[in-house]
Structure 1
């Protein structure tokens, strides 16, 4: 509880500070066509926040490229297009984050318009010419994340993300609001058996009230309510499918003012290689607008790359294998398999080779039972089959190294014999194991 109190005090202090700063600066007068604002910590989603923070001194750096087609156009009251104002918008977002503690991280994002086509809405439609703009900045964002509830311990998580947008954008072409704009997002997410992840974001963003087009009663900026949700389905260790949707609406005309109610959805995939490339992330996706407000494109495509370093504890000491006095042959490191397969990973060969050496040096150890165990993810029958196949794979490996087949028996127990809490990530990791029992 003490940590929660400290987190809340810090969050309130930061939020109050950015509100004070924003009040002290005169507001601008432009809508912002940049509505794709990626997260900075390389999590499970592109725009939607997760509650998990980077560990202390862990970090993430990345770039996300996106192209939006016709995100801003002038139309009749019936919605018929008159002329495009921004027809093409190709952006890159450079972002990064660092963990100061295991529950507090800080990140920043800088959007840059690589290419933008622009029609000046102040010129006569009959004479206006398309202009190409290159290398203009959008509004930079600084944010913090305070984890209030740990999803890895409780299967549900809670976090608070206060942020500030800075007036760095080229507002003349709608790449920013020309104002300091603070806000905050409350994050609630859930982990379903380490396979499906869900997240819900609800936020408030402060704008200084300004009317940027006196001819349109809906053309004004004011405080907004944002909502968003995301799903991440883990296919295997390296591949996940994602879906996200979000909207931001002026509170004074909640969900009624479509001009200032951009809403969008995205679907995509995230690739996270293992082995030597662990930490690298590749994102590909696409989507389109749900409404027809400023910043809502006919379609959007994106590709991103990032490197996330989750600082881990030092590796365990070198493997030791010893014969127990009575029943077990104890190994101090796990035997690793390919995800959802019975294929032994090469990293585990030295561990099994030590078991081979022990059995060869101790012929008095008669029948050895190779036991496969799983955690509770997946259905019972599937886990039972997987544990049997993995136990057989280990048995076949030992036989290939010279151990007599009659000395080895393979048995799978599925998820029926846990040794730790399946409700935690660490507990599930302990339950996924291979054991060697001396039968006679």
Structure 2
């Protein structure tokens, strides 16, 4: 609906009372709340809060007849008892410790228009006073749980309205009223220091006031409520969504609510500017067709134990560097001074991988800022290691057991310290090379035997199984051999195509046999070359037998 339905009149409605302050928009009394919904935090000790808020509402109170049509005076285009209102709220507050505050709100109506309708049929209704002072509100507030110290903040407040406005102009109640309320607030970080990203608050209370009657609707004590959430989309801008209202009975006119969406700009320290707008919900008295608002809060603090000039979360009273923010890295953070090089090793923390452990500056990996107490990681600390950069044995003061032939077996255990073990799977632990049937050479594996196949077939004969076993042991014992090509070769007897096929099949058979013995299949390739690569000339039976062979070529290694 375009307007807010405030109350319904029968044609015989009686003359209405004029003691109702319908205003829903009552800005919070300190800089830590939302636009209307208060927060559970409050002004800190000796912190002064000052605010100036402007709002404009359209049709906050309208009159409808029994058919539901809005009533307008004869000869006017006004469609509400209060057709529009522009108001200013001047506020000031002061905190006592961090758990209590008192604030004062002085509402000033800058302009309003509408009409006074004693009876529905009055052809010349009166007009509202265009300006005036509203009821002044005094709000004491006490913090039960401080959100900055507990996961949840809880506060109690009692706004007390003093009859300073003209009831006939809808500017006041004409009597003292009070609205005790409880407030709960949660945030992901501290409120006072503006470190939070997200926060939410809920308020519930009761409005205690003298009974009033507006045309045929009666108003008395009311339940008040509000919920709000804020999210910092960027550091200086918080987006707020609020729902607040009151309920004094079961009729539509007795239930007013308002939804507001706004932005809060966190300017200089403890200064904020708010702008936003919203609409009334539910059709109650005071819920406008729409509302626009803007406000500014300023909250200087005169207690240096609460002030934080450099906004480093260390109060000025104990901050030794008031204008130089603490770096908050869990190292001497209580003094308020930044420690750019915590461990004093000459490397700033921003590039120091171990900012709290000084580099040992021993010429070994000194660029990272981390100490290396055991450079060679041999279990012997460098302070006691006679060979700090060579892994050794504790029994040798940290020096290595030499391996003269580089076969991985220390000279103290190597029976042939100057002749490298061949690692062929045969007595490899003694450090001496064994000239067996399988020898690891540079670029290939030498086979001092023959892999026998059935005549003109790819089947490996049983007598070659032990040789295949040895080859597999050598390959497995040398993981640095990443890729081995198994090559099959034939003599020149038979056709070229048949020999090529036969050699490929025999290479594949050897590959499968090695895989069956535990060699990773991915390390093996099989290739048949037929008679294309004879080892010797095929001019005798002995030479042909020598050309019928399987070779193991090392294609890739670490």
TM-score category of the 2 structures, normalised to the smaller one = 0.5 to 0.7
- CA shift at 1:33, angstroms? 3.0
Q: Which has the higher contact order (CA 8 A, sep 6+)?
A: 1
- CA shift at 1:80, angstroms? 2.2
Partners of 2:200 and 2:88 in 1: CA distance: 27
Partners of 1:136 and 1:61 in 2: CA distance: 21
Which residue, out of 91, 97, 100, partners 2:93?
A: 97
1:35-60 Cα shifts (integer Å, max 9, x gaps)? 21111112230111111121110111
Q: Is the 8 A contact 1:33 1:174 kept in 2?
A: yes
Q: 1:318 to 1:118 in 2, by over 3 A?
A: closer
Q: Is the 8 A contact 1:368 1:409 kept in 2?
A: no
Count of equivalent residues: 312
Give the corresponding residue for 1:65: 54
- 2:283 matches 1:262: no
- 2:77 matches 1:81: no
Partners of 1:66 and 1:410 in 2: CA distance: 58
Which residue, out of 254, 275, 278, partners 2:269?
A: 278
**Structure 2 unaligned blocks of 5 or more:** 1-16, 73-79, 190-195, 308-314, 329-335, 356-364, 371-558
Which residue, out of 107, 117, 131, partners 1:111?
A: 107
- CA shift at 1:123, angstroms? 6.5
1:241-300 Cα shifts (integer Å, max 9, x gaps)? 0011112111xx3xx222122110100000011xxx322210000000002121111000
* TM-score, L = length of structure 2: 0.51
SS at 2:149 equivalent = helix
- 2:224 matches 1:226: yes
SS at 1:282 equivalent = strand
Q: Is the 8 A contact 2:27 2:35 kept in 1?
A: yes
- Compare 117-126 and 52-61 and name the one that shifted more: 117-126
Q: 1:205 to 1:128 in 2, by over 3 A?
A: same
SS at 2:62 equivalent = strand
Q: 1:74 to 1:279 in 2, by over 3 A?
A: same
Partners of 2:349 and 2:104 in 1: CA distance: 54
Partners of 2:95 and 2:146 in 1: CA distance: 15
Partners of 2:120 and 2:220 in 1: CA distance: 29
Partners of 2:326 and 2:138 in 1: CA distance: 41
SS at 2:316 equivalent = coil
1:123-158 Cα shifts (integer Å, max 9, x gaps)? 776744785744311111101111001111222111
Give the corresponding residue for 2:450: none
Give the corresponding residue for 2:203: 201
Partners of 1:297 and 1:167 in 2: CA distance: 23
Give 1 or 2 for the bigger CA radius of gyration.
2
Alignment map for 1:299-338 (pairs within 5 Å)? 299-310=290-301, 311-312=306-307, 313-314=315-316, 316-318=319-321, 334-335=326-327
Higher helix share: 1
- CA shift at 1:211, angstroms? 3.3
SS at 2:320 equivalent = coil
- 2:372 matches 1:370: no
Partners of 1:372 and 1:281 in 2: CA distance: 38
- 2:237 matches 1:239: yes
1:348-403 Cα shifts (integer Å, max 9, x gaps)? 9x969x86xx99xx9xx576663699xxxxxxxxxxxxxxxxx9xxxxxxxxxxxx
Q: Is the 8 A contact 1:115 1:132 kept in 2?
A: no
- 2:138 matches 1:142: yes
Give the corresponding residue for 2:23: 34
- 2:282 matches 1:291: yes
SS at 1:262 equivalent = strand
1:168-193 Cα shifts (integer Å, max 9, x gaps)? 11211111111111120000111135
Q: 1:369 to 1:238 in 2, by over 3 A?
A: closer
Q: Is the 8 A contact 1:368 1:408 kept in 2?
A: no
**Structure 1 unaligned blocks of 5 or more:** 1-27, 320-331, 337-347, 374-390, 392-405, 412-440
Partners of 2:160 and 2:348 in 1: CA distance: 62
Partners of 1:174 and 1:124 in 2: CA distance: 18
SS at 1:33 equivalent = coil
CA-based RMSD of the aligned residues comes to 3.2
